[in-house]
Amino acid sequence: MQQLATHFQLFRAFLLGKKSLDARTSPQSTVVFLCLLAVLCSGCAGGEDLRLPTYTPDESAKQALAEYDTNHDGFLDAKELERCPALKNNLDTMDSDGNQRLSAEEIAARIQVYQESQVALKAVACRVQLDGKPLQGASVTFVPEKFMGTSIRPASGVSDERGGVQLMVEGEKYPGAQPGLYRVYVSKKNASGQETIPARYNQDTTLGAEVYPRKLRRSGTREDVAGDFRLTSKPK
């Protein structure tokens, strides 16, 4: 065990440039160095498979107001936020001045967090219930809000027997979704191809979610859950 610790100390010194491999380096240390370097390099290569999305905070905020600011006062109020569930659901954490409205600056600041995080994919999950019971076999799709731009891609998954959904971006090897603001669609069709979930959760969805790249504590929720969707079959 002491010998292994010595190998690791030598490897650390090698990475810091304080030691090099030469004829005086023992064969055992050389083998350990090469194995550790192989592991380190394989980890870097895995990261290269993930492409960082491109964000334009100011432009995205401008587009968000152009789409949802119907009274053209430069803010998104409660009524206007009804049309953008993802922003509405996150008003409390985005509204920096506490006026219950969102400005272009506040929206841009949030998107700036995504950009600065350098997170390509965030491993998150969501849960789906229908009338208080886990909804199994439902297709759940996160579609980026238009103002997020074309670099952010949809993520989707199918709910299991507990209603849990593991989101995946098409073409990616790893589970997760790109940081951003999304419109959420939940669909489950019967054998005849007819939709069994009310249109307000798919065709005319009122669901939205945020995939946040960092820990964001909200009362009563887990940090790694992008959405806890409690649907009802009763008409509203």
With a pLDDT cut of 70, the percent of the chain lying above it is: 75
What is the pLDDT, as a whole number, of residue 226? 75
What is the pLDDT, as a whole number, of residue 9? 56
What is the pLDDT, as a whole number, of residue 43? 36
What is the pLDDT, as a whole number, of residue 234? 87
What is the pLDDT, as a whole number, of residue 111? 98
Running along the chain, 236 residues long, what does each successive block of 10 average in pLDDT? Answer: 51 46 48 42 46 95 98 97 97 96 98 95 92 97 97 96 95 93 97 96 96 68 70 88
What is the pLDDT, as a whole number, of residue 26? 54
What is the pLDDT, as a whole number, of residue 202? 97
pTM: 0.77
What is the pLDDT, as a whole number, of residue 50? 80
What the chain holds in terms of domains, given with CATH numbers, is 2-48 (no CATH), 57-231 (2.60.40)
Report CA 222 to chain centroid distance, whole Å: 14
State which amino acid sits at residue 150. T
What is the pLDDT, as a whole number, of residue 24? 52
Residues 27-55 as b or e (16 or more Cβ within 10 Å = b): eebeebbeebeeeeeeeeeeeeebeebeb
* Sheet with 139-144, side-by-side order of all strands: 168-169, 155-158, 139-144, 180-187, 207-211
